[in-house]
Amino acid sequence: MIAAMPETHSVVDDFVTKLKRRQVEGSLLTARHTAIVLRQVISHQRVTHSAPAATLIKAVKSVGLRMIEANPIELTVGNVVRRVLHIIREEEASLIMANAAGVSYAAESDDDDNSAAHSVLSATALAAANRSALRAPSLHNLLESLPSVQAGTHGASSSGADSEGRSKSVDRNPKISKLKHNVIEGINELLEEIDSYHSQVAEQAIEHIHQNEVILTYGRSRALLEFLLEAKKKRSFQVFVAEGAPRYHGHTLAKELAAADLQTTLITDSAVFAMISRVNMVIVSAHAVMADGGAMVPVGLHMVALAARRHAVPFVVLAGIHKWWS
């Protein structure tokens, strides 16, 4: 297992400590901090010339396991780690395909015998890249171990001094620099996606809420608030808000909706089953979404889901991609 580089060791330790002490609250903030830490780890990580992607993957796994163990309940950390691992493999496959395309072009200008050999090499590289790129980013194939690097470095091990000299300047290799640059750009895109989570969710409000509908909601989140307020711009509807004991976040949401001149009614949790037959839709926000479709939601929401299923009421869960257990 590869430890974090000295340049990022303190950053990783500080974030792990905050996770253990529950000083980082909320899936959005946790996801953003996790992506930033992993970006710093990749930026400062020295990689081997023979297997740069494998080195980055081992570094991310090492740091990711520490962060996951610091707060196992915060599933967003593991989700972001798996996304970064997928980005690394995706960029590696892209470079392999680009190199294979270059080999194929060179083969066309060579003689027949060499052309056949280059074509076989190109086909093999393209097939390997396609297998890697087309695999879905699931928990199994994102965290599985890569093939041993020893086989690829066996031929180079005979010149110990020469390989050691190359390892000290591996980051200057243009292919390695391009891989790290592309991975960091991919993480930057992930950060932009996380930061724009609320606006992206709110943009879909018009597609789900229609004129004069009655909506039931439970709990309180910024995504849920902006979703309802965005729909209010073009729709007229009514919202029933369950108070959500024991934290009573429904009181806060009801005040915010009423302040925005949205017709809002606060009800007790025990009144949900009596009101569910009058509503057109239930809209809630989730802390995390599991691979089987289950969701981590505020306590008491299971009762609302059962009532909605009993009366065949559509049940909508708001969740960003960083909340999905891939």
Note the pLDDT of residue 103.
55
Residue among 200, 186, 242, 235 at smallest CA distance from 217? 242
In order along its 326 residues, the chain shows pLDDT tens digits of 444 566 688 999 999 999 999 898 888 899 999 999 999 999 999 888 888 899 999 999 999 999 999 999 888 999 999 999 999 999 989 888 887 776 555 555 555 555 444 444 444 444 444 444 444 444 444 444 444 333 333 343 344 434 334 434 445 677 788 899 999 999 999 999 999 988 989 999 999 999 999 999 998 999 999 999 999 999 999 999 999 988 899 999 999 999 999 999 999 999 999 999 999 999 999 888 888 888 888 888 999 999 999 999 999 999 888 888 76
Q: Dig out the tokens for 221 from the structure.
A: 């989140």
Q: Rounded distance, CA 257 to CA 241, Å?
A: 10
* Unique residue bearing structure tokens 């391009």: 178
Note the pLDDT of residue 152.
39
* pTM (two decimals): 0.71
Note the pLDDT of residue 145.
41
Note the pLDDT of residue 154.
39
Note the pLDDT of residue 170.
47
What is the distance between the terminal CA atoms of the chain, rounded to a whole angstrom? 23
Q: Which residues, listed in sequence order, are joined to residue 240 by a DSSP beta bridge?
A: 216, 265
Q: Contact at 8 Å (CB) between 263 and 237?
A: yes
Note the pLDDT of residue 114.
52
Q: In angstroms, how far is CA 229 from the centroid of its own chain?
A: 26
225-231 long-range contacts, CB within 8 A, separation 24+ = 225/253, 225/256, 225/257, 226/198, 226/199, 226/201, 226/202, 227/201, 227/202, 227/283, 227/318, 228/257, 228/262, 228/283, 229/202, 229/257, 229/260, 229/262, 230/202, 230/203, 230/205, 230/206, 231/205, 231/206
Residue among 175, 165, 124, 167 at smallest CA distance from 149? 167
Note the pLDDT of residue 26.
84
